[in-house]
Amino acid sequence: DQQVKQNSPSLSVQEGRISILNCDYTNSMFDYFLWYKKYPAEGPTFLISISSIKDKNEDGRFTVFLNKSAKHLSLHIVPSQPGDSAVYFCAALNSGGGADGLTFGKGTHLIIQP
């Protein structure tokens, strides 16, 4: 049973446009959400996070939106740049869950077209 779902395995966006990556979750106990970016042969790199007490968090070109009622979050990248081409993972955590690690989605491969 997949608790974090990224339904788009890949996404192609033109350079300069907005990239929107989506993530859905099923576990209502999740209260902390993160986005990671991964290049081939490297470990995931933390991008941005959001606590369930907020509905938006912005950091430069990256903004994460959280809709708790829909159990949905999204990552917006604007403007998209060639270096943004990577696999993006959505992750979630139950901060009161004790010894649990992050629960990850399967990732979305973002391709920025020149």
Cβ proximity to another protein: between 83 and 96 the closer is 96
From residue 104, alpha-carbon distances to 9, 13, 33, 41, 113 in Å are 14, 23, 10, 18, 26
Shortest spacing between CB 106 and another protein, in angstroms:
4
Out of 50, 77, 93, 112, the residue judged to bind another protein by CB under 8 A: 93
- Of residues 28 through 47, those in contact with another protein by CB under 8 A are 32, 34, 36, 41-46
- Record the tokens describing residue 92, joined without a space: 């979630």
Give the single-character DSSP code of 16: T
DSSP sequence for 61-82: TEEEEEETTTTEEEEEESS--G
Residue 110 as a binder of another protein (CB under 8 A): the answer is: no
Number of chain residues interacting with another protein (CB under 8 A): 25
Residue 95 as a binder of another protein (CB under 8 A): the answer is: yes
- Of residues 57 through 76, those in contact with another protein by CB under 8 A are none
DSSP sequence for 77-98: ESS--GGG-EEEEEEEE-TTSS
Residues in the chain: 114
Residue 89 as a binder of another protein (CB under 8 A): the answer is: yes
Binding site residues, another protein, CB under 8 A: 4, 32, 34, 36, 41-46, 49, 89, 91, 93, 95, 98-107
